[in-house]
């Protein structure tokens, strides 16, 4: 099994009514050198300017991105080439990130290589520390790469945190 850290940027709160703008993925392995960056053109005429602004991408730029089907095909191929067995989806906020990836995979490929579950980094850290009140502490302690809403950078920072937690004793496989 391979852990794949994913981060998504979108132009609204939910798939289908709004669009995924871009996403990044990183394989959890010591060098963190296996990355994927997907940029998808809008699938909806609806968009929230403040939501899109988080990504630093304009609507005009967003409209020039690739067809979502092609991006998801490329991502599925990358996953099959860079993970062992079924990949495990992990993110800072899978309630947000996973819904986008899941919806786009099912809509454009008919299936999600990640299956139907995901892991949340904050919950892993809280479990390690036996304290549910430490939800966001890991972000300050372990990320090296600046969280700047470039989804590859954000996924890298989250992967760095996971490797630091692994060094602290978290039993998590890293390729």
Q: What are the residue boundaries of the structural domains of the chain, listed by start?
A: 2-167
Identify the CATH assignment for 2-167 out of 3.40.640.10, 1.10.3720.10, 3.40.250.10, 3.30.420.10. 3.30.420.10
Residue 134 confidence (pLDDT): 77
Contact predicate 172/132, CB 8 Å:
no
State the Cα–Cα distance between residues 162 and 101, nearest whole angstrom. 21
Q: What is the pTM of this model?
A: 0.95
Residue 136 confidence (pLDDT): 72
149 is catalytic: yes
Active-site residue identified among 16, 62, 147, 149 = 149
In degrees and rounded to multiples of 5, residue 126 shows phi and psi of -60, -40
What residue has token string 């989806």?
89
Q: 166: helix, coil or strand?
A: helix
Residue 80 confidence (pLDDT): 97
Residue 70 confidence (pLDDT): 98
Stretches where the chain sits below pLDDT 50 are none
- Classify strands 35-39 and 20-27 as parallel, antiparallel or unpaired: antiparallel
């Amino acid at each position: 099994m391979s852990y794949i850290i994913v981060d998504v940027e979108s132009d609204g709160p939910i798939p289908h009514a709004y669009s995924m703008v871009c996403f990044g993925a990183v394989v959890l392995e010591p060098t963190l050198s296996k990355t994927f960056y997907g940029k998808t053109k809008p699938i909806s005429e609806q968009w929230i300017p403040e939501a899109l602004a988080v990504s630093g991408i304009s609507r005009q730029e967003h409209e020039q991105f690739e067809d979502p089907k092609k991006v998801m095909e490329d991502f599925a191929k990358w996953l099959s080439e860079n993970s062992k067995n079924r990949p495990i989806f992990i993110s800072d906020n899978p309630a947000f990130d996973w819904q986008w990836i899941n919806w786009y995979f099912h809509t454009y490929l008919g299936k999600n290589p990640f299956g139907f579950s995901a892991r949340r980094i904050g919950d892993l850290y809280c479990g390690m520390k036996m304290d549910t009140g430490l939800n966001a502490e890991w972000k300050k302690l372990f990320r090296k790469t600046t969280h700047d809403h470039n989804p590859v950078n954000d996924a890298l920072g989250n992967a760095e945190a996971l490797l630091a937690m692994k060094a602290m004793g978290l039993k998590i496989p890293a390729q």
